[in-house]
């Protein structure tokens, strides 16, 4: 069934795009049916596929973006984007996948792994959810101010992995999508979570980009707050004073915080160090790993300030991050790792403490902040929780393997969530892209821990 697609070029155009949602039951896919089907998939590991057994591969055996249905919706140009915007039913009843890079790595058999196809296949096979691809590595990032509001009105936004390192601009070699453009896109995505927006799931390099952008957003917030001498309608001056005192504490902590490996090696000194957020892992992780519940670190051994650890303990107790609950109740959760860089534990503990501090400072003065130049601070997350870790031979390798990004509404107190994971829940244990191997059955997907975890994140995110 598989074909050599190395020389394959996109063949579909916007004239080929389906105008009604769904492929297996075209025209009958909507939010309620998709959500029910996701729930049915998760209910057990044995039930039969409730959807028609319709082939998702093209008649020539190719499963590739832009080749044929159901992978026809690829945004390669502004013309494609404008067509999408004129047809809101297309993106409101789909997930959107952002590709930072053309593949997520090379697997053991020498194949480039385009994992976005797995995301699209799983969503279609399990719940007949269509996918839209934004291959920003080839198309460039087309106006985030227009793109983000559109794609976040769908079911979910998935930011895939890739080969570059977030701490090394020279590895982002695409002339149309430099690293700074990716940072700008992810920052915009992080502060666009609202009661009417879709959850975002950041995978591998997406996980690392989100982590980098947390620190960038916090630095930006601190800089803007400390640059002000007054705030509109802040007659007592207490709103600005409160934010400035918090910002000064965050800045002082950020400048002095070190990132230290378990062997005692210091890899970053302060939040301006290029390796403060992401650095080279102790070893390359490739293949299956069992997810372990995250355990608070020994602050004395790693020289992590107690207030960062305490703030995270409070976050973990107050919030539920789906992945941590899954680990608690499943027999074990085995997923596919495929990375050589990692997000530093210290950076996320610091980001959580900073976000909580900023949020708490805003609460009593939110009516003033909401009508000021600092109103964008209200869109920041309330907290970040580290959910799980991985180990090799009993030694922790990736302390921060996944996070839950929490957004607490100031008025309703309701929580919305987005998720990041260093691992690839969309890849099966062979680490192959669907299209380079036989199409997995519904039963195969239903029994794969990673796929079940990915579907659970979609299912939970669609409820918010």
| pLDDT at residue 305, rounded to an integer | 97
200: tokens are: 């975002």
For residue 284, what is the enclosing H or E element? strand 278-290
Count of Cβ atoms closer than 10 Å to residue 86 Cβ: 8
**End-to-end alpha-carbon separation of the chain, Å?**
39
Write down the pLDDT at residue 338.
79
For residue 20, give the 3-state DSSP assignment. coil
- Residue 14 to residue 72: CA distance in whole angstroms: 8
Which residue, chain included where needed, has tokens 């990736």?
A: 398
Per-residue confidence (pLDDT) for residue 4, from 0 to 100: 40
Q: Which helix (H) or strand (E) holds 368?
A: helix 366-369
Q: Block means of pLDDT (10 residues each) for the chain, length 464 residues?
A: 44 91 91 97 95 92 96 96 94 97 92 97 98 97 94 98 95 96 98 95 97 98 97 95 98 97 90 96 83 92 94 95 86 82 97 98 97 97 96 87 97 96 94 94 96 96 93
What does the alpha-carbon distance between residue 34 and residue 31 come to, in Å, rounded to a whole number?
5
Q: What is the Cα–Cα distance from 122 to 445, expressed in whole angstroms? A: 8
Task: Could you list the beta-strand ranges (E) of 50-193.
Answer: 94-98, 130-134, 156-159
Taking residue 19's Cβ as centre, other Cβ atoms within 10 Å add up to 9
Burial of 373 from C-beta contacts in 10 A (0-12 / 13-18 / 19+):
exposed
Q: For residue 35, what are the contacts with CB-CB under 8 A and spacing of at least 6?
A: 127, 459, 462, 463
Q: Rg of the Cα trace of the chain? A: 22
Paired tokens of 9: 């070029």
What pLDDT digit, counting tens, does each position of 93-113 carry?
Answer: 999 999 999 999 999 899 999
Residue with tokens 């899954």: 326
Peptide bond connecting 70 to the previous residue in cis, omega within 30 degrees of 0: yes
Question: Is 213 in contact with 380 (CB distance < 8 Å)?
Answer: no
**What does the pLDDT read at residue 281?**
87
Among candidates 177, 198, 161, which has minimal Cα distance to 424?
161
pLDDT at 162: 94
pLDDT at residue number 8:
47
User: What does the pLDDT read at residue 9?
Assistant: 55
- Sort strands 278-290 and 334-343 into parallel, antiparallel or unpaired: antiparallel
Determine the pLDDT at residue 10. Answer: 60
pLDDT at 270: 97
Task: Show the tokens assigned to 156.
Answer: 């979910």
pLDDT the model gives residue 285: 80
């Amino acid at each position: 069934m598989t074909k050599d697609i190395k020389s394959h070029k996109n063949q579909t155009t916007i004239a080929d795009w389906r105008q009604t949602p769904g492929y297996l039951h075209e025209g009958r896919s909507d939010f309620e049916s998709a959500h029910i089907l996701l729930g049915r998939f998760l209910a057990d590991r044995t039930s039969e596929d409730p959807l028609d057994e319709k082939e998702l591969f093209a008649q020539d055996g190719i499963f590739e973006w832009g080749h044929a249905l159901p992978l026809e919706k690829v945004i390669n140009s502004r013309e494609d984007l404008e067509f999408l915007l004129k047809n809101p039913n297309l993106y409101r009843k789909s997930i959107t996948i952002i590709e930072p890079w053309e593949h997520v790595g090379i697997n053991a058999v020498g194949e480039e792994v385009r994992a976005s196809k797995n995301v699209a296949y799983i969503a279609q096979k399990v719940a007949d959810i269509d996918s839209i691809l934004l291959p920003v590595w080839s198309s460039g990032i087309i106006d985030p101010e227009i793109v983000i509001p559109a794609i976040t009105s769908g079911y979910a936004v998935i930011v895939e992995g890739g080969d570059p390192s977030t701490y090394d601009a020279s590895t982002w070699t695409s002339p149309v999508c430099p690293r700074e453009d990716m940072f700008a896109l992810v920052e915009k995505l992080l502060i666009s979570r609202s009661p009417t927006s879709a959850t975002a799931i950041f995978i591998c390099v997406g996980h690392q980009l989100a982590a980098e952008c947390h620190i960038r957003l916090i630095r930006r917030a601190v800089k803007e707050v400390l640059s002000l001498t007054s705030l509109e309608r802040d007659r007592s001056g207490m709103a600005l004073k409160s934010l400035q005192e918090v910002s000064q504490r965050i800045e002082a902590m950020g400048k002095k915080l070190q990132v230290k490996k378990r062997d005692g090696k210091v890899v970053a000194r302060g939040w301006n160090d290029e390796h403060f957020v992401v650095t080279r892992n102790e070893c390359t992780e490739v293949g299956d790993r069992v997810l372990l519940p995250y355990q608070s670190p020994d602050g004395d051994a790693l020289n992590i300030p107690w207030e960062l650890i305490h703030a995270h303990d409070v976050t973990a107790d107050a919030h539920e991050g789906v992945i941590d609950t899954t680990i608690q109740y499943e027999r074990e959760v085995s997923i596919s790792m495929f990375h050589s860089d990692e997000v530093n534990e210290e950076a996320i503990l610091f980001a959580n403490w900073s976000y909580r501090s900023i949020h708490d400072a805003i609460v009593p003065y939110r009516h003033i902040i909401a009508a000021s130049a600092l109103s964008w601070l209200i869109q920041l997350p309330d907290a970040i929780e580290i959910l799980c870790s991985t180990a090799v031979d009993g030694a922790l390798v990736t302390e921060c393997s996944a996070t839950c990004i929490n957004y607490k509404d100031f008025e309703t107190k309701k929580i919305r969530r987005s998720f990041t994971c260093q691992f690839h829940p969309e890849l099966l244990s062979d680490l192959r892209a669907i299209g380079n191997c036989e199409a997995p059955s519904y039963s195969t997907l239903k029994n794969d821990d990673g796929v079940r975890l990915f579907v659970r994140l979609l299912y939970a995110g669609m409820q918010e």
